[in-house]
């Protein structure tokens, strides 16, 4: 039942001066629950009724009634509507129970294509704690859009091209040992990357040599290509190990190199449409009329840049996927880059550029400063995840040593703690990485929500109410109704998270639901109550369990049934 529409219909029987849409627009939700669930202000009606607003409120309230509301009362110039608690609880809880695992899914997208590009790590570099941001925000957004019935394609736009690979190839040629690298690939390649920058600071000619090696790679040189593929293969083994820990899923790993043969056509189009111009041997697009600095398209040596490849990627994706929305989950420091290439796509005459969305996020720094791969100052993401798992395993061994699947549960809770903390705060905020805060299991945390889910599962295992009719009028206390009200918001919360590209809206929602559920549990005994009370309260428990599980899934966190 749409109780708000019931309010509109009731009021419309008494009000000719406003349309139903105008009535609905005027309806408010009181700040305090004792004032009702909906309120209608009568100020706008003074002219039509030729009476004071408080008199109008009294007159209308006395003329309307509906079983859906247990109270319709005038309060000064307002008409307050209090929903019939039994009808409301029945409506909300049975909706959740009927849909079960599908609760939250909605047909808003009509199977339209949505691309979510996220993670997009650089080959031959360590996945550090900073990489968790794009990975988890993107993976969650992909799940959220899929729940809204969009046809989602998850793309990991690997950083597997560019001058950095000229540097890596040159560093390997000068100082590398293949056997040593194959023992510990990414760590050894990072050491070479750091060494290159140390040496290049002393000898700038190394940078010129690195650019030459990248140009060779672009031109298909056999040795450069073989070394590049070798580095890429080793990197993917390590990356996939971390993605498995994080439950990150991808449909495509088409990185920058995938578009290398598609860039010439883009460059030709830019030249034919007179969008680029020569500047000291390079090619640029003048974006001054759009409030941006000029954008470099090709270097003096003819090699491509990120912008060229991103334009080629966007054109390819539109042709291949015909996307309704093309979402890029990339750090806020890349804001200008996205503004520039999206403006260039518009200049090419493609209005779908407006369907490309940059979803920025803040940076992660260490407690003693910013992270830097080239300086070797990083905290490995895999190390963080495994340490979290071990920390939770120690707690399980101490408190519940007979628990089945201890290793798996420790992984679910440990990794979940880190992911939850990552997605709990607004994505645009910077934060400082701290071991202590990451692994805390107190307060607004993932383990707290998972524990609440496990508590609901335990109640369902231990209290049998099969076959007992549910009398929803028994859920008339405020703690129960707070939970019911919160459950009713779940579907809208998912829509809001998608619209704002903000998983933290969902994370905060399920944390609040867990808190309200625990308040309900503390205020309402279940095990030693009559069968009728047990049946009513267990219906609410089951609805909470379903919603917590579905909500945790949308933010890429598992929901263990036993802890």
User: What ranges do the domains of the chain cover?
Assistant: 3-83, 381-554
Helix (H, G, I), strand (E, B) or coil at 27: coil
Q: What confidence category does residue 32 fall into, taking pLDDT thresholds of 50, 70 and 90?
A: confident
Is the model more confident about 260 or about 78?
A: 78
- CA 265 vs CA 216, 273, 314: distances in Å: 20, 12, 13
Contacts of 88 (CB under 8 A, 6+ apart): 3, 37, 481, 484, 488
The position carrying tokens 């939770």 is 392
* pLDDT of residue 470 exceeding 60: yes
The domain 381-554 is placed in CATH, from the list 1.10.730.10, 1.10.150.170, 3.40.50.300, 3.40.50.150, at 1.10.730.10
pLDDT of residue 442: 67
d(C-alpha 5, C-alpha 451), whole Å: 37
**Cα separation, 38 vs 6, whole angstroms:** 11
Q: What are phi and psi of 408, to 5 degrees?
A: -65, -45
pLDDT at 123 over 90: no
Strands 69-75 and 38-41: unpaired
Using alpha carbons only, what angle is made at residue 506 by residues 502 and 511, rounded to the nearest 5 degrees?
135
- Nearest CA among 497, 499, 424, 488 for reference residue 29: 488
Q: pLDDT, tens digit, for every residue of 251-283?
A: 999 998 899 889 999 999 999 999 999 998 899
341-360 average pLDDT score = 98
pLDDT reading at 375 higher than 60: no
Which stretches of 117-204 are DSSP H helices? 132-147, 163-175, 178-183, 185-202
pLDDT band for position 377 (cuts 50, 70, 90): low
pLDDT > 70 fraction of the chain, expressed in percent and rounded: 96
Q: pLDDT tens digit string along 191-234?
A: 998 899 999 999 999 999 999 998 898 888 999 999 999 999 98
Instruction: Provide the pLDDT confidence category of residue 432 given band limits of 50, 70 and 90.
Output: confident
What is the pLDDT at residue 472? 96
Q: Is the pLDDT of residue 122 over 70?
A: yes
DSSP assignment letter at 122: B
pLDDT in tens, 127-159: 888 899 999 999 999 999 999 999 999 999 998
**Is pLDDT above 70 for 439?**
no
CA 214 to chain centroid, in Å, comes to: 35
Cα distance between residue 470 and residue 481, in whole Å: 16
Asked if 192 contacts 171 with a C-beta cutoff of 8 angstroms, the reply is: yes
Percent of the chain with pLDDT over 90: 79
Q: List the Cα angle 154/157/163 in 5-degree steps.
A: 175
Residue 502 has φ and ψ, to the nearest 5°, of -135, 90
Q: List phi, psi (to 5°) of 28.
A: -115, 165
Which of 20-24, 53-57, 399-403 shows the lowest mean pLDDT across its residues?
399-403
374 has pLDDT over 70 = no
Question: Cβ of 69: how many Cβ atoms within 10 Å?
Answer: 23
What is 61-91 written as a DSSP string? HHH---TTEEEEEEETTEEEEEE-HHHHHHH
- Using alpha carbons only, what angle is made at residue 394 by residues 452 and 511, rounded to the nearest 5 degrees? 20
Residue 456 has pLDDT above 60, yes or no: yes
Q: Which two tokens stand for residue 59?
A: 């007159």
- 205 CB burial (10 A radius; 0-12, 13-18, 19+): exposed
pTM here is 0.89
Report the 10 Å Cβ neighbour count for 47: 9
DSSP at 287: -
180 three-class SS: helix
CATH number (3.30.70.3270, 3.30.1360.70, 2.40.50.140, 3.60.20.10) of 3-83 reads 3.30.1360.70
Mean pLDDT, rounded, for 460-471: 96
> Is the model's pLDDT at 68 over the cut of 60?
yes
Q: What is the mean pLDDT of residues 156-164?
A: 88
Least confident of 141-150, 183-192, 348-357, 370-379: 370-379
Residue 175 has pLDDT above 80, yes or no: yes
| pLDDT at position 343 over 60 | yes
Q: What is the pLDDT of residues 504-539, one digit of tens each?
A: 999 999 999 999 999 999 999 999 999 999 999 999
pLDDT over 60 (residue 371): no
CA separation for the pair 308, 478 (Å, rounded): 59
Between 28 and 304, residue with greater pLDDT: 28
Cβ(551)–Cβ(424) below 8 Å: no
């Amino acid at each position: 039942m749409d109780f708000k529409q019931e309010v509109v219909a009731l009021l419309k029987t008494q009000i000719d001066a406003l349309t139903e849409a105008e009535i609905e627009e005027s309806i408010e939700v009181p700040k305090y629950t004792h004032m009702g669930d909906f309120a209608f202000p009568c100020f706008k009606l003074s002219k039509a009724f030729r009476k004071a607003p408080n008199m109008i409120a009294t007159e209308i309230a006395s003329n309307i009634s509906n079983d859906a509301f247990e109270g319709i009362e005038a309060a000064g110039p307002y008409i307050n509507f209090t929903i019939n608690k039994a009808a409301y609880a029945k409506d909300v809880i049975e909706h959740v129970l009927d849909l079960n695992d599908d609760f939250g899914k909605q047909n808003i997208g009509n199977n339209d294509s949505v691309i979510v590009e996220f993670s997009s790590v650089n080959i031959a570099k360590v996945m550090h704690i900073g990489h968790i941001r794009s990975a988890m925000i993107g993976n969650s957004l992909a799940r959220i859009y899929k729940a809204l019935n969009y046809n989602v394609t998850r793309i990991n736009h690997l950083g597997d091209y560019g001058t950095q690979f000229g540097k890596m190839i040159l560093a390997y040629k000068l100082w590398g040992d293949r056997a040593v690298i194959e023992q510990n690939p990414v760590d050894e390649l990072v050491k070479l990357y750091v060494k290159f920058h140390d040496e290049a600071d002393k000898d700038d000619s190394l940078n010129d040599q690195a650019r030459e090696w990248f140009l060779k790679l672009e031109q298909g040189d056999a040795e450069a290509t073989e070394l590049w593929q070798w580095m890429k293969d080793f990197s993917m083994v390590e990356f996939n190990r971390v993605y498995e820990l994080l439950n990150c899923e991808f449909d495509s790993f088409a990185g920058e190199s995938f578009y290398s043969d598609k860039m010439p056509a883009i460059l030709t189009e830019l030249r034919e449409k007179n969008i680029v111009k020569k500047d000291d041997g390079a090619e640029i697009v003048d974006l001054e009329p759009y409030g941006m600095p000029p954008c470099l398209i090709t270097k003096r040596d003819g090699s491509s840049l990120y912008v060229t490849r991103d334009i080629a990627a966007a054109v390819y994706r539109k042709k291949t996927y015909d996307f309704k929305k093309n979402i890029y989950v990339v750090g806020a420091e890349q804001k200008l880059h996205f503004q520039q290439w999206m403006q260039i796509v518009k200049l090419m005459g493609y209005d779908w550029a407006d369907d490309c969305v940059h979803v920025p996020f803040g940076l992660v720094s260490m407690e003693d400063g910013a992270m830097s791969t080239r300086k070797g100052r990083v905290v490995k993401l895999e190390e963080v995840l495994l340490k979290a798992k071990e920390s939770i395993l120690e707690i399980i061994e101490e408190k519940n040593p007979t628990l089945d699947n201890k290793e798996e549960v420790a992984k679910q809770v440990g990794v979940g703690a880190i992911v939850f903390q990552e997605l709990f705060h607004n994505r645009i905020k910077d934060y400082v990485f701290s071991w202590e805060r990451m692994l805390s299991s107190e307060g607004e945390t993932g383990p707290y929500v998972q524990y609440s889910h496990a508590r609901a599962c335990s109640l369902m295992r231990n209290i049998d109410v099969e076959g007992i009719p549910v009398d929803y009028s028994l859920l008339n206390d405020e703690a129960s109704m707070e939970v019911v009200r919160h459950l009713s918001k779940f579907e809208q919360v998912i829509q809001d998270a998608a619209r704002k590209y903000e998983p933290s809206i969902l994370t905060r929602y399920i944390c609040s639901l867990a808190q309200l559920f625990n308040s309900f549990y503390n205020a309402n005994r279940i095990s030693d109550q009559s069968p009728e009370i047990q049946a009513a309260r267990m219906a609410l428990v089951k609805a909470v369990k379903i919603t917590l599980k579905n909500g945790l899934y949308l933010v890429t966190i598992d929901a263990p049934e036993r802890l």
